[in-house]
Amino acid sequence: MAELLPGAPVTSLHALGPAEDLAAYQARGGYQALRSAQDTSPDQIITTVREAGLTGRGGAGFPAAAKWEAARACPGPRYLVVNAAEGEPGSYKDRHQLARAPHQVLEGTLIAARATGAAEVIVYINSEFAAAHDALATAIGELDAAGLAATLPPIRLLLENHVYIAGEETALLAVLMGRPAWPWPKPPYPTERGYNDQPTVVNNVETLAHVPLILRRGPDWYRQHQPVLFSVTGDVARPGVFELPLGIPVRDLIAQAGGPLPGDQVAAVLPGGYSLPWLRADQLHLAMEPEALKAAGTGLGASVIVVGAQQGPGLAAARIAAFFARETCQTCPICVTGTARLAQLLRPGADRNLTPAESQEITELAGEHRGKGICTLLDSAATVALASAPHLVGDEQTAAPVA
């Protein structure tokens, strides 16, 4: 499968690989979808994307078509913002997508711009991803030189010094408007009032890379063969970014990443990165797709993190809790105190097992804090702490070898 990433669909984390140029992208069907989109009504493009069931790959899994339609229903000028912030530890897929297949992201972005009627496209890129920025800038230049950009909206690339919270869409828009990276309470949603108070669609890089595929191969093909970029890190022998079909069992995904470290076993898996509940070692048969993961109380997110028995869930939980306590933007007092207390309860060096009183306090904190922040960072901190607590009670740790 090489629908999203050209060439080898498996890569190590830090070797981004060469960018695919315009000729190579066109040789695998690139820009056919944009050409056909230019002869298709925006409503029809949105219908096709809806039929394919494309959901956002930035973490929230929101249907792309619904977002585009909501913005289109508001009077313009409208904006399309590409979110290449990717600040969550363990997530590498977006920088790989941009650095290796910039034209695919560009084509998807231009189709989305047509569907939403965007007057301008703004690409927010984390300043750590200079290679991704340069690949995209070169791709735009190639499109211009080939005379293919004449009727397209202007595209502005912004390389921003990044803090994690700026990946949240309203904080990102605040940064684009020259303000501090503080989320705002929704409503108003960006699709109603976003950049410069105008209707704005914010989409993740990978979400947009799927769009040319949908138009080129059709929604039926897409629903059956949907590829996903899985960023697999943690206690695995070969961490990397893997293009694999939606629905691959967790166990097989870990095997693709080389399996557990030598002599280690899987103790837990975070299938939705830092923001969603953990899977136990006896749940590795589950399919990596939204319904199966939802039934298990979790979901897909920006990355997949494997926790080995040698590291143990305690250290992983401590690391995540400390991350959220450090990254709160401090706008909501309850987020400042809540993330700090969770980090204290789960701190490294604390007894590996939580006392029943600590476990009870985490349960109460999670219940009281969920939904109380302006953004969902506080929810994520509470959810992950709550989900990790059962892994930290008592002596027994279930661990599973992965074939």
Residue 168 makes contact with ligand FMN by CB under 6 A: yes
Task: Indicate the DSSP class of residue 153.
Answer: P
Considering beta carbons, is residue 109 or 203 the nearer one to ligand FMN? Answer: 203
What are the two backbone dihedrals, phi and then psi, of residue 341, each rounded to the nearest 5 degrees?
Answer: -65, -40
List b or e across 26-36, with b for residues whose CB sees 16 or more CB atoms inside 10 angstroms: eeeebbebbee
Which of ligand SF4, ligand FMN, none interacts with 378 (beta carbon under 5 to 8 A by kind)? ligand SF4
Q: Collapsing DSSP states into helix, strand and coil, what is residue 208? A: helix
Shortest Cβ distance from residue 133 to ligand FMN (Å)? 15
Shortest Cβ distance from residue 365 to ligand SF4 (Å)? 14
Give the start-end residues of each E strand in 194-309.
200-204, 227-234, 240-245, 266-270, 279-280, 304-308
**Which 344-373 positions form the footprint of ligand SF4 (CB under 6 A)?**
373
- Binding segment for ligand SF4 among 90-98, 110-118, 149-157, 374-382 (CB under 6 A)? 374-382
Strands 279-280 and 266-270 turn out to be: antiparallel
Residue 203 makes contact with ligand FMN by CB under 6 A: yes
Task: Indicate the DSSP class of residue 352.
Answer: S
Task: Indicate the DSSP class of residue 231.
Answer: E
Considering beta carbons, is residue 11 or 55 the nearer one to ligand FMN? Answer: 55
Strands 118-126 and 10-12 turn out to be: unpaired
Taking the mean position of all CA atoms in its chain, how far away is CA 97?
A: 12
Distances (CA, A) of 313 to 57, 169, 235, 259, 350: 26, 30, 11, 17, 13
Task: Pick the binder of ligand SF4 from 110, 165, 257, 266 (CB under 6 A).
Answer: 165
- Binding segment for ligand SF4 among 200-208, 216-224, 238-246, 326-334 (CB under 6 A)? 326-334
Residue 180 makes contact with ligand SF4 by CB under 6 A: no
Considering beta carbons, is residue 343 or 375 the nearer one to ligand SF4? Answer: 375
Q: What is the DSSP track for 15-83?
A: ---PPP-HHHHHHTTTTHHHHHHHTS-HHHHHHHHHHHT-B-SSSS--BHHHHHHHHHTS-S-EEEEEE
Residue 81 makes contact with ligand SF4 by CB under 6 A: no
Which of ligand SF4, ligand FMN, none interacts with 62 (beta carbon under 5 to 8 A by kind)? ligand FMN
Residue 331 makes contact with ligand SF4 by CB under 6 A: yes
Give dist(CA 242, CA 72) in Å, integer: 34
Token reading at 40: 């298709």
Which of ligand SF4, ligand FMN, none interacts with 283 (beta carbon under 5 to 8 A by kind)? none
Which of ligand SF4, ligand FMN, none interacts with 138 (beta carbon under 5 to 8 A by kind)? none
Strands 266-270 and 200-204 turn out to be: unpaired
- Binding segment for ligand FMN among 14-22, 58-66, 137-145, 338-346 (CB under 6 A)? 58-66
Which of ligand SF4, ligand FMN, none interacts with 271 (beta carbon under 5 to 8 A by kind)? none
Give dist(CA 327, CA 333) in Å, integer: 14
Which of ligand SF4, ligand FMN, none interacts with 106 (beta carbon under 5 to 8 A by kind)? none
Task: Pick the binder of ligand FMN from 34, 46, 85, 135 (CB under 6 A).
Answer: 85
Shortest Cβ distance from residue 183 to ligand FMN (Å)? 7
Residue 375 makes contact with ligand SF4 by CB under 6 A: yes
Give dist(CA 36, CA 371) in Å, integer: 43
Considering beta carbons, is residue 202 or 345 the nearer one to ligand FMN? Answer: 202
Residue 384 makes contact with ligand SF4 by CB under 6 A: no
Residue 325 makes contact with ligand SF4 by CB under 6 A: no
The one-letter code for the residue type at 383 is T
Give dist(CA 11, CA 252) in Å, integer: 17
Task: Pick the binder of ligand SF4 from 183, 199, 273, 308 (CB under 6 A).
Answer: 183
Residue 337 makes contact with ligand SF4 by CB under 6 A: no
Which of ligand FMN, ligand SF4, none interacts with 115 (beta carbon under 5 to 8 A by kind)? none
Check: CB of residue 101 under 8 Å from CB of residue 209.
Answer: yes
Check: CB of residue 262 under 8 Å from CB of residue 241.
Answer: no
Shortest Cβ distance from residue 360 to ligand FMN (Å)? 27
Taking the mean position of all CA atoms in its chain, how far away is CA 358?
A: 31
Residues near ligand FMN (CB under 6 A): 56-60, 62, 83, 85-87, 165, 167-169, 202-204, 207, 375-377
Residues near ligand SF4 (CB under 6 A): 165, 183, 328-332, 335, 373-375, 377-378
